[in-house]
Amino acid sequence: MLNVQKLTLAALIQVFFVSSAFASEQSESKGFVDDTTASVLLRNGWIGRDKKDPDVHDQSSWGQAAMVSVESGFTPGIVGFGIGITGDVGFKIGENKHSGNDMLPLRNDGSAYDHWGRGGANVKARISNTTIRYGTQIVDLPVLQSNTVARLIPEYYTGTSINSNEIKNLELSAGYFTKDQLSNQIATDQNKLKRAVVYGGKYKFNDDLSAAYYGANLKDALDRHYLNMNYKYPLANDSALTFDFSGYHTKYNKEIYDKIAYSATGAANTSKTNDIWALSGSYKTGPHNLMLAYQQNSGDVGYVYNVAGAGGSSMYLPNSYLSDFVGNGEKSVQLQYSLDFNQFGIPGLNWTTAYVYGWDINVQAKGKRITDDAREREFFNQVKYTVQSGAAKDLSFKVRNSIYRADKNYTSDYYIGSTDEWRIFVEYPFKFL
């Protein structure tokens, strides 16, 4: 693993010494001030979960946040320098007695903060088309993800990252992070991340074919590898078929057994492995898009993310809504339909509906097998509208609903438990610079 990481970092360093296949971003820099951008995203978010188990509290979280992003330009020269600031401020709305859901920052006793402020700064340097950054950052990789969309506020990482675009259509990334702050945490290292090393890249062969590979090593936690292939086959009349393959291989260290034991089989306090992959096919014609997806787990534990610093959205697989259908040994199939109302005279309005069914889930607790044939299912709907013009341009409204049911052997003792969920988000982005 260390050799792979060293080779990857060496490849990133080597790009400094080869000719760029296209124009250098640094040579076109307008300067530290002239290239500065500043934006704020206002987000009002509510998640309500109606738990069908009478012994489990319903959950409801409601808050208002403002997420700030400031990025300076780079100073002129062969090597340019700059700074960045990222953070959020917000407050809860209502009591939020049983908030949960990772929506609001929580005190040690589980109660939500009335208001909060979080974030930090970073410094950056750029040579040619390669940027290195140190400090507080938002990370967006399939193996380490800051959960920027699904919750009220994002997850922050502190460390060093490198992003390189020296070769046309090839983007390489690497990072070394030592702090992790979840969406529901105030302290910058409250998740007690020991060390996260990430690396990989994505390549666009042409307009229709792309591939990606990323890896991650979280000290005393896990080793993870991600692979993706995406192919689009154009048809007549602006229609297209799209085929997508994605998968993860993960080895979980025995040190985090207690965090993954709900879905583990085999001897306790031993390393566990998981392989999960998914294949989907989509047909798009006009405003309609129909997708069929199959997803499958193997190994002696389910796919577990948001553990030991892996990130709250490190789950780039299709069968992921309220449930992610990632149980030990689970197989699942999904049928999804999306409709873009632009061709019906309502630009900015979209609707997605899906049904996912999972089976063959292995459930084990305290060394005792409960069942190897648990099942779960989810009916999902989402409507989103974005204002297209005028003073409220880019203001968006998103409403989603999940009706989730699980067998009695796959209850909230082991996973989510049967739940009806609503999520309502209102967002308004605007730029200062």
Q: Give this prediction's pTM.
A: 0.92
Among 50-59, 166-175, 229-238, 354-363, the minimum mean pLDDT is found in: 50-59
Query: Residue 368's pLDDT band (boundaries 50, 70, 90)?
Result: confident
For residue 289, pLDDT over 50 is answered with yes
Query: Residue 366's pLDDT band (boundaries 50, 70, 90)?
Result: low
pLDDT digit string (tens) for 14-41? 544 444 445 789 989 899 999 999 999 9
pLDDT, residue 18, reads 47
pLDDT digit string (tens) for 232-246? 999 999 899 999 999
For residue 10, pLDDT over 80 is answered with no
For residue 379, pLDDT over 70 is answered with yes
Which tokens hold the place of 296?
């499958």
pLDDT, residue 99, reads 83
- What's the rounded mean pLDDT across residues 177-189? 93
Q: 196: closest CA among 210, 214, 170, 209? A: 214
- What's the rounded mean pLDDT across residues 92-100? 88
pLDDT digit string (tens) for 397-411? 999 999 999 998 888
- What are the Cα distances from residue 180, in Å, to 121, 311, 312? 14, 9, 11
Output the average pLDDT for the chain.
92
pLDDT digit string (tens) for 198-244? 999 999 999 999 999 999 999 999 999 999 999 999 999 989 999 99
Q: In sequence order, what E strands does 253-301 have?
A: 272-285, 288-299
pLDDT, residue 39, reads 97
Q: Are 136 and 118 in contact (CB under 8 A)?
A: no
| CA–CA separation, 85 and 68 (whole Å) | 8
For residue 413, pLDDT over 80 is answered with no
For residue 253, pLDDT over 50 is answered with yes
- Please give the distance of CA 62 from its chain centroid, rounded to a whole number: 21
pLDDT, residue 16, reads 46
pLDDT, residue 335, reads 98
pLDDT, residue 267, reads 78
pLDDT digit string (tens) for 52-70? 998 899 999 999 999 999 9
pLDDT, residue 110, reads 86
| CA–CA separation, 191 and 209 (whole Å) | 38
| CA–CA separation, 422 and 286 (whole Å) | 29
pLDDT, residue 17, reads 45
pLDDT, residue 364, reads 81
pLDDT digit string (tens) for 141-154? 999 999 999 999 99
Q: Are 114 and 120 in contact (CB under 8 A)?
A: no
In order of their start, the domains of the chain are 220-432 (2.40.160.10)
